[in-house]
Structure 1
């Protein structure tokens, strides 16, 4: 197999570090998963439904774009379930891309692209003009509604006819404030219990990454790009469905939901 590749584009010129470092990338993946699960205990369930629907709509050997791929979480679940799939992961975060590259080193099913999704030309760096499926999870809430709607237009052009797009993310229905408040209070109480048991939160995880000899540089660049945390929007699932239909998809609806999150599927 050939090495996983990195292609660089966008305004920063940032690229992930090389994978040949001896770093325990699997341990960093597990650490990232645990940190994310602290916020989203149903995280694996949404991935299961996502990959189920990929197989149902486009089969067992799809060409996939892992949008805002981070450490390659979606790609890992995809290839574990559908080993005949191929994946292009695209992100701007040099630290998370370093972990992704290290994890998939030597797997010629996987390609990585460094690009800013807010750059109108981001898709020109991709190795393919079209994909069977475009998948993203817990990432696009970093964008405000206007650039997110523009991104959906770009995504619609990348998904082939009959292909699928799915976004699993925080999607808050502001018409039910009391329901939202009750769910949030219980969720945060449970998070505090887990914290007492040693769970890492977002800030603690990044502090550890910044202290790692290999990830320190990419982590510093990551904070130069994003700051502490991007301040995006979390519109409702209904908003996402409407935007996707307006972007050119033929059908769209939620195929999984919790009180605070949803997985929206759009069919081209």
Structure 2
């Protein structure tokens, strides 16, 4: 998404890309903003209004943008491996000294060494860790526990289905598909269409190609239940863990160090 100035030069409209990403994500998660609001409510409740935050698998920086909007004195470190989404994040936060962006693979055991701080008040992530299978996610939770200070929090907002409720799951899925079909008729983009748009952009085309070399169309991850996440987080070093918000399809789980 490029813009033309009065001098005839072109530049990338990073806010337009952010808004486009938000709309695409909201097609899957209509309660996404409510989920972010609750996440930041919990940040304020547990660690105050000037937190040092690690935005884990930050993507375009959706969490960081909302964090700084609400808490101008916060600082954020965003970590991701996706070169296309990181390009959007870098363009969005260029010149903002509160934000540091780090390119790193969360399955690399040395990724915490690339961070600017040894500990954080809060580690936050959303709609990202289902890209990992259970064993590497368990290892990652142990590393996250080592980064959160005593009294700090980790929050993961993601798809955490409960396999013990098949009829509820089936009905919710049918209702969601109908809503998504209505939104598509109104012009909403799905995941594949959004990436096709990015691949045609002169600035994002190359990083998008690299992104698909890294990930393929989608990673072969898993979506364990909220109970599994809470249990594993406690086993990996957190004192308490439970859901603090849920929609019919998503859960925000908070772990306290």
TM-score, scaled to structure 2: 0.96
Aligned match of 2:181: 192
Matches of 1:34 and 1:25, distance apart in 2: 14
Aligned match of 1:175: 164
**How many corresponding residue pairs?**
248
Select which of 245, 248, 252 maps to 1:256: 245
1:182-203 per-residue CA deviation (whole Å, 9 max, x = no partner) reads 0000001110010011100000
Aligned match of 1:142: 131
Corresponding position: 1:103 with 2:92: yes
Select which of 30, 33, 51 maps to 1:44: 33
Select which of 43, 62, 71 maps to 1:54: 43
Select which of 189, 196, 206 maps to 1:207: 196
Report the secondary structure of 2:118's partner residue. coil
Report the secondary structure of 2:241's partner residue. strand
Report the secondary structure of 1:190's partner residue. helix
Q: For 1:198-237, list aligned pairs within 5 A.
A: 198-237=187-226
Matches of 1:188 and 1:139, distance apart in 2: 21
Matches of 1:249 and 1:23, distance apart in 2: 42
Matches of 2:246 and 2:176, distance apart in 1: 15
Matches of 2:227 and 2:113, distance apart in 1: 30
Aligned match of 2:79: 90
Matches of 1:240 and 1:83, distance apart in 2: 31
Aligned match of 1:113: 102
Aligned match of 2:56: 67
- CA apart distance, 1:120: 1.0
Question: Which stretches of structure 1, 4 residues or more, deviate above 2 A after TM superposition?
Answer: none
Aligned match of 2:234: 245
Matches of 2:224 and 2:246, distance apart in 1: 14
Q: Which has the higher contact order (CA 8 A, sep 6+)?
A: 1
1:15-54 per-residue CA deviation (whole Å, 9 max, x = no partner) reads xxxxxx8200000000000000000000000000000000
Where does the alignment leave 5 or more consecutive residues of structure 1 unmatched?
A: 1-20
CA RMSD of aligned residues (A): 0.7
1:40-73 per-residue CA deviation (whole Å, 9 max, x = no partner) reads 0000000000000000000000000000000000
